[in-house]
Amino acid sequence: MLKKMILITFLVVSVLFVYGCGEVEEEGEVVTPLDPEEREELPEEIKAWIEDSRDKFGGRARVHNGLLYILVTYGEKPTGGYIVEIDELEKQNDTLVVTAEFTEPGEDEMVTQAITYPYDLAVVEETELSVEFVATGDENTIPVLEEQ
């Protein structure tokens, strides 16, 4: 009986240890954007908003029908090979921090010889958080584009 109690105690302590040593969350909670399949086709108002923004370099956020649309644009570029990707959405205090990576084509990289307008769009459930943009990669800052 004593061996059984020791074994059970050991198992309980082991389970608590494993769960207690689990992955520790970083500074803030990571917010997962909705999959394109989880949302409807983009509303016409949002399509027009993207079209109006794509030739500008910066970040914008807009609420529409209970969803928060987060847009990061790289502006008009002379060739292909320019990329912008929203890497992370993280809740920090009362702010949703949007981290986007910018990539310019390499000198020897073959690219499309056409004007391009790189951008990325993330969609999350509506939130009251303010939005802050952080750049990584080939850019240092993301200007905040005001609504017109």
Q: What is the pLDDT of residues 54-94, one digit of tens each?
A: 999 999 999 999 999 999 999 999 999 999 999 999 999 99
Give me the pLDDT at residue 38, please: 65
pLDDT over 70, % of the chain: 77
Contact of 119 with 71, CB cutoff 8 Å: yes
Report pLDDT digits (tens) over 34-58.
876 666 689 999 999 999 999 999 9
pLDDT > 90? residue 3: no
Mean pLDDT of 110-120: 96
Domain ranges of the chain: 28-137
Amino acid 107: pLDDT: 92
Write out the two tokens for 108.
């020897």
Residues 6+ apart with CB under 8 A from 141: 135
pLDDT of residue 85: 97
pLDDT for residue 30:
85
Q: What is the pTM of this model?
A: 0.77
pLDDT score of 23 more than 60: no
With 80 as the cut, is the pLDDT of residue 27 above it?
no
Q: Which residues pair with 59 in a beta bridge?
A: 72, 144
Per-residue confidence (pLDDT) for residue 21, from 0 to 100: 35
Cα–Cα distance between 21 and 84 in angstroms, integer?
A: 36
